[in-house]
């Protein structure tokens, strides 16, 4: 059985998530894992851009999983 494109995209995303989750350099101060929203408030454009990317990725994933309707249902039947 030939692997589908969706399975390939899923596995590629699965392996890409840990690489994308690493913190980028350039932050001064404490580097502990702390949840606060000061960073989001101080960088509103970056927060909006990240939210837009996450929504777009979710929408693309939904469209890929939904897929096209069955071709059987879309065929035009001829009267004989």
Q: SS3 letters for the chain?
A: CCCCHHHHHHHHHHHHHHHHCCCCCCCCCCCCCCCCCHHHHHCHHHHHHHHHHHHHHHHHHHHHHHCCCCHHHHCCCCCC
Output 27 or 43, whichever has higher pLDDT: 43
Over residues 16-44, the mean pLDDT reads: 72
> What mean pLDDT is reported for the chain?
76
pLDDT over 70, % of the chain: 61
pTM: 0.45
Q: What pLDDT is stored for residue 72 in this prediction?
A: 58
Model pLDDT for residues 1-13, shown as the tens digit of each residue:
456 777 888 888 8
Q: Tell me how far apart the alpha carbons of residues 47 and 40 are, in angstroms, rounded to a whole number.
A: 6
Of 63, 54, 59, 57, the closest CA to residue 6 belongs to: 63
Q: Locate 50 and state its tokens.
A: 């990240």
């Amino acid at each position: 059985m030939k692997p589908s494109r969706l399975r390939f995209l899923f596995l590629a995303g699965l392996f890409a998530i840990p690489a994308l989750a690493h913190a980028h350099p350039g932050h001064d101060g404490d580097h502990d894992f702390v949840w606060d929203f000061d960073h989001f408030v101080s960088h509103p454009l970056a927060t909006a851009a990240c939210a837009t990317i996450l929504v777009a990725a979710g929408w693309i994933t939904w469209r890929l999983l939904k897929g096209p309707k069955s071709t059987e249902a879309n065929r035009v039947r001829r009267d004989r």
